[in-house]
Amino acid sequence: MTGCAHFVRQEPTAEAHLEPTRNNTASGQAWFKAEGSDTVWMHVHMSGLKANSVHGMHLHERGDCSAPDGSSAGGHFNPTGKPHGAPDAQHHAGDIPVLVADSAGEADETVTLHGISIGTHAPDDIIGTALIVHADPDDYHSQPTGNSGARIACAVVVTGKSAAY
């Protein structure tokens, strides 16, 4: 039993490598780490954004970035059927705070997301969804998407392999 005394439970992780959609330059990486049963920490770093811009960012229902415009990822990830909204109000599980780019067109943000899980095989599990960055800010009230504009970057969320957590 003394061998088990040093066991530390490793929380599940995920990652997403963001690639630009057709005619866009935004790219980057996102890392996710479970913090309990329905809370996930997310860190995202992107470049190639317009200087001093704000972007809607969402998890979408299908981990499919094959369409040139990212439309193959489907709608927002919404396993509980809630309306679109701000992360501090009733919202889709895939609604994420906006991403803010600096004067160099880079963004580096860490947020805490509630109502999702990693690797649980439950309806709220984000493995196999897509992370989408949009051209415009999310207004958090237009249904069903927040009027965030075109999809400028897309990534499939996969089980974490990186040590960047």
**Catalytic pick from 55, 125, 134, 138?**
134
Alpha carbon distance 4, 99 (integer Å): 42
**Catalytic pick from 55, 84, 91, 138?**
84
**Catalytic pick from 55, 95, 125, 138?**
95
**Catalytic pick from 55, 76, 125, 138?**
76
Active site residue 22: no
Active site residue 6: no
Active site residue 91: no
Active site residue 141: no
Q: How many CB atoms lie within 10 A of CB 31?
A: 19
3-class SS at 24? Answer: coil
Active site residue 43: no
**Is the Cβ–Cβ distance between 77 and 96 less than 8 Å?**
no
* DSSP codes joined into one string, 2-18: GGGGG--PPPPEEEEEE
Which residue's structure tokens are 């109000």? 89
**Catalytic pick from 55, 91, 92, 125?**
92
Active site residue 76: yes
**Catalytic pick from 91, 125, 138, 151?**
151
**Catalytic pick from 55, 58, 91, 125?**
58
Q: What is the largest CA-CA distance in the chain?
A: 58
- Characterize the bridge pairing of strands 95-100 and 13-20: unpaired
**Catalytic pick from 60, 91, 125, 138?**
60
Catalytic residue list = 58, 60, 76, 84, 92, 95, 134, 151
